[in-house]
Structure 1
């Protein structure tokens, strides 16, 4: 199967230092934050790849680099074989950009409150001189809204309806790849299910590829073909959903699964994840997870584990597969 996205050794570093004069007066060094560190994975066409992890793990940073909103500090992102950072042909760049869309976390903040829905949806097509006659009305009906809604403003819709507007806008340019940055986290559970079912149906209907970013393992389990687990900017595990949930190779993955809510375990006591993500400007030596890991040994504190094969997936852990789930799979 052809890979529509190929990410190789992707790294992004941010300068979070105080202003130059403050550093001179206070005699402070520069502070660099590594949000993403040496991440590599591929997304085959017509599949869904989910990135999960706690806040601050680098999920959204990767999403923004994939769509070109951020430039990598190191590494490459290839979309359909083209690296938008190094490509020089304007026609090729324009073609690839047309194939990419993004759905943001907050549906209200990502919609222009002064524009009518018709203009919001058709903007990606109108910007390239395409035909927009009846486009908004067709897409609104496709995402479960009424054609008459095209004349309304975003504030006249509920949160779930606004996210459907964002989906309609993403579909307007007939993309191949849609990056979904926590598209349901601002919605209640019942509306989440509606939006996720809609996205799943549209994926099959249009042959879409999704990079689905979420902190909720229960959401991605039923959406993803492959799940990548991020911790402190590094990919620590990658596997198919069923394999990941039944036989997690990394202790951090097991911790996330144990902490996830379960419909069939009402009243069970759940231990919250231990500790917090370390300061990314001063990460721990060796494996970044070792201060929170129940299996940590001396090698974990001194040597950073590399991704290696584990079952049908990959895991970066010196003690891969040695932890057991506390919850029943």
Structure 2
């Protein structure tokens, strides 16, 4: 397989400073928040790469840089051989971006309530002057809805049905890569499986490539071909699902697995691990995870670990063997 997406040294810094006059009066400097820090990974064509981590780990920021909603502060975003961060040929960039779509987290907020479903689905094609006759009806049928639903408004559908409409809209421009940002987190558990099964079927049927952004490890176990674990904007481990779940190499990955809901021998729910992600404006020295790590040593507090190959994956941990 070929790498369809290559992310190299990707970094995104946000300026979250107070206004200039406030900083002068309070004698404060600029406040910079590093949301993504020096991230590297590849997505093979026709596979699903999952990014997992707690809220605030930088998952959605990476997805938005990949689709072009945010520009990288540093690093490269290469899709189908074109570096979207540095390519000067606008036509070449536009062609690649036309094959990238995004499915957002909230199906209630991502559909225009004043438009009929027919117009919502056809809009990506209509904006480029393409043929839209019967397009919405065909795509609705493809995602498991009835063609007659094209004449309805979004408020007439349930959450799961709305997410299917979002998927149909993403498919309208015949994409090769779809960034899925928490696509099922706003849905009931019973509906989540239906949407995920639909996404899997469409991937096989249409040869799609997915970047799946989620905090739900049960989702990635069954959907992903490769998993990257993010912590405070840094990629700390990458492996295939079996290796990651059976033998996690990074303490943070182990913590995420331990945090999954489970019961003890008496049927009581086991409490999740304690602690929170540190302030990204003032991150810890060395390994960002060391304040919460149960096995941290002096080197962890002093030096940032580099990503290294280990077993069938990669890990950024001084103590990983």
TM-score w.r.t. the length of structure 2 is 0.97
CA-to-partner distance for each residue in 1:188-215, whole Å, 9 max, x for gaps?
1110000000000000000000000001
Alignment match, 1:193: 193
The separation in 2 between residues aligned to 1:292 and 1:263, in whole angstroms, is 23
Deviation at 1:267, TM superposition (A): 2.5
**Cα 1:265–1:177, aligned 2, differ >3 Å: closer, same or farther?**
farther
**Cα 1:184–1:265, aligned 2, differ >3 Å: closer, same or farther?**
farther
**Tell me, what secondary structure is at the counterpart of 1:12?**
strand
Matched, 1:251 2:251: yes
The separation in 1 between residues aligned to 2:152 and 2:214, in whole angstroms, is 30
**Cα 1:201–1:263, aligned 2, differ >3 Å: closer, same or farther?**
farther
**Tell me, what secondary structure is at the counterpart of 1:50?**
strand
The separation in 2 between residues aligned to 1:13 and 1:248, in whole angstroms, is 29
Alignment match, 2:124: 124
Question: 1:106, 1:183 within 8 Å by CA — same for their partners in 2?
Answer: yes
Structure 1 unaligned segments of length 5 or more: list them. Answer: 322-329
The separation in 2 between residues aligned to 1:210 and 1:151, in whole angstroms, is 29
Question: 2:16, 2:32 within 8 Å by CA — same for their partners in 1?
Answer: yes
Alignment match, 2:18: 18
Question: 1:305, 1:316 within 8 Å by CA — same for their partners in 2?
Answer: yes
**Tell me, what secondary structure is at the counterpart of 1:292?**
coil
Deviation at 1:248, TM superposition (A): 0.1
Alignment match, 1:276: 276
Question: 2:135, 2:172 within 8 Å by CA — same for their partners in 1?
Answer: yes
Alignment match, 1:223: 223
Greater displacement, 259-268 / 142-151:
259-268
Matched, 1:319 2:308: no
Question: 2:76, 2:84 within 8 Å by CA — same for their partners in 1?
Answer: no
Alignment match, 2:156: 156
The separation in 2 between residues aligned to 1:111 and 1:257, in whole angstroms, is 34
Structure 2 unaligned segments of length 5 or more: list them. Answer: none
**Tell me, what secondary structure is at the counterpart of 2:223?**
coil
**Cα 1:177–1:246, aligned 2, differ >3 Å: closer, same or farther?**
same
Question: 2:263, 2:269 within 8 Å by CA — same for their partners in 1?
Answer: no
**Cα 1:151–1:57, aligned 2, differ >3 Å: closer, same or farther?**
same
Alignment match, 1:71: 71
Alignment match, 1:142: 142
CA-to-partner distance for each residue in 1:208-244, whole Å, 9 max, x for gaps?
0000000111111100000000000000000000100
The separation in 1 between residues aligned to 2:17 and 2:49, in whole angstroms, is 34
Matched, 1:88 2:88: yes
Alignment match, 1:206: 206
Greater displacement, 87-96 / 230-239:
87-96
Between Structure 1 and Structure 2, how many residues are aligned?
321
Deviation at 1:29, TM superposition (A): 1.1
CA-to-partner distance for each residue in 1:163-209, whole Å, 9 max, x for gaps?
00000000001100000000000011110000000000000000000
Deviation at 1:262, TM superposition (A): 5.2
**Cα 1:232–1:67, aligned 2, differ >3 Å: closer, same or farther?**
same
Alignment match, 2:289: 289
The separation in 2 between residues aligned to 1:142 and 1:25, in whole angstroms, is 60
Question: 1:258, 1:270 within 8 Å by CA — same for their partners in 2?
Answer: no
Matched, 1:31 2:26: no
Give the CA RMSD over aligned residues: 1.4
TM-score w.r.t. the length of structure 1 is 0.95
Alignment match, 1:324: none
CA-to-partner distance for each residue in 1:72-94, whole Å, 9 max, x for gaps?
00000011011223222232122
The separation in 2 between residues aligned to 1:182 and 1:223, in whole angstroms, is 13
Deviation at 1:320, TM superposition (A): 1.2
**Tell me, what secondary structure is at the counterpart of 2:57?**
coil
Deviation at 1:268, TM superposition (A): 5.1
